[in-house]
Structure 1
Amino acid sequence: MKYQTFQPHPDLASLISCYWSLEVPASDNPQRQRIVPDGKIEMAFIFGDDIKHYTTENEYVLQPRAFVLGQTLEPFYIEPTGYVDSFSISFYPYGFANFVDVPLKTLANKETPIENLFGHETAKNLENQMVQAADTQERITIVEKFLLDRLNQTNTVDTIVKLTVEALLATKGNTSISNILKEDPSKRRQLERKFSEQIGISPKQLGKVIRLQSALKLLLSGEGESLTKIAYESEYYDQAHFIKDFKEFTGISPKEFLGHENMALSSAFYK
Structure 2
Amino acid sequence: MLEIKEPTVLTHSNVPGWEYVSRVPTFALRSSIRLYSGYYQNTEQPVCRLQAPSGHVMLVLGFGSDMKIRQIGSGVDSGINSGVNQSFVAGLEAQPLLREHDGERYCIAIALPPWVAYRLFQGAATEFVQEVVALEDIWDDADRLVEQLSEQSSWTQRFALVDRLLKEKLFASQHLVRPEIRWAWNQLEAQGGCILIRQLARTIGWSNRYFARQFQEQTGVTPKAAARQMRFAQAYRLLRTSNNHTLSEIALDCGYSDQSHFTREFHAFCGCAPNTFQKAKAAVADFPGLPGEPGVPGEMVRDIDE
Range class of TM-score, shorter chain: 0.7 to 0.9
Instruction: State the Cα deviation string for residues 71-93 of structure 1 (Å, max 9, x = none).
Output: 13532222114333212222223
Post-superposition CA distance 1:211-270 (Å, at most 9, x none): 112222222343654222211111211111111111111111111112416987794279
Report the equivalent of 2:68.
52
Q: 1:83 pairs with 99, 104, 115, which one?
A: 104
Letter in 1 for 2:41: V
Query: Would you say 1:26 and 2:43 are equivalent positions?
Result: yes
Mark the CA change 1:83 to 1:256 in structure 2 (over 3 Å): closer, same or farther. same
C-alpha distance after superposition, 1:112-167 (max 9, x if no partner): 3333333x2x3333232212111221111112112112222223311121111111
The answer to whether the 8 Å contact 1:115/1:124 transfers is yes
* 1:41 partner amino acid: V
After TM superposition, give the deviation of residue 57 of structure 1 in Å: 2.8
Range that drifts further, 65-74 or 131-140: 65-74
Residues paired across the two proteins, number: 267
Q: Structure 1: how far apart are the matches of 2:188 and 2:270?
A: 20
Q: How does 1:103-182 map to 2 (within 5 A)?
A: 103-118=124-139, 120=140, 122-154=141-173, 155-182=175-202
Q: Is the 8 A contact 1:74 1:249 kept in 2?
A: yes
Which residue type is aligned with residue 14 of structure 1?
S
Q: In the alignment, is the contact (CA less than 8 A) between 2:240 and 2:294 conserved in 1?
A: no
- Aligned residue in 1 for 2:267: 247
Structure 2 vs 1, CA of residues 183 and 92 (structure 1 numbering), >3 Å: closer, same or farther? closer
* 1:189, distance to aligned residue in structure 2 (A): 3.2
Q: How many angstroms apart in 1 are the aligned matches of 2:241 and 2:86? A: 33
Structure 1 counterpart of 2:220: 200
Unaligned runs of 5+ in 2: 1-17, 296-306
For residues 192 and 28 of structure 2, what CA distance do their matches in structure 1 show? 25
Cα RMSD over matched residues? 2.7
User: How far apart are residue 59 of structure 1 and its match?
Assistant: 4.0
Q: Is the 8 A contact 1:25 1:83 kept in 2?
A: yes
SS of aligned partner of 1:140: helix
CA distance in 2 between counterparts of 1:184 and 1:135 reads: 45
Q: Is the 8 Å Cα contact of residues 49 and 294 (structure 2) preserved in structure 1?
A: no
What is the TM-score when the length of structure 2 is the normalising length? 0.77
Question: SS of 1:210's equivalent?
Answer: helix
- Quote the offset at 1:60 in angstroms: 4.6
> C-alpha separation between the residues in 2 aligned to 1:113 and 1:218?
30
2:3 aligns with none
Structure 1 alignment gaps of length 5 or more: none
TM-score (norm 1): 0.86
Distance 1:85 1:168 in 2: 33
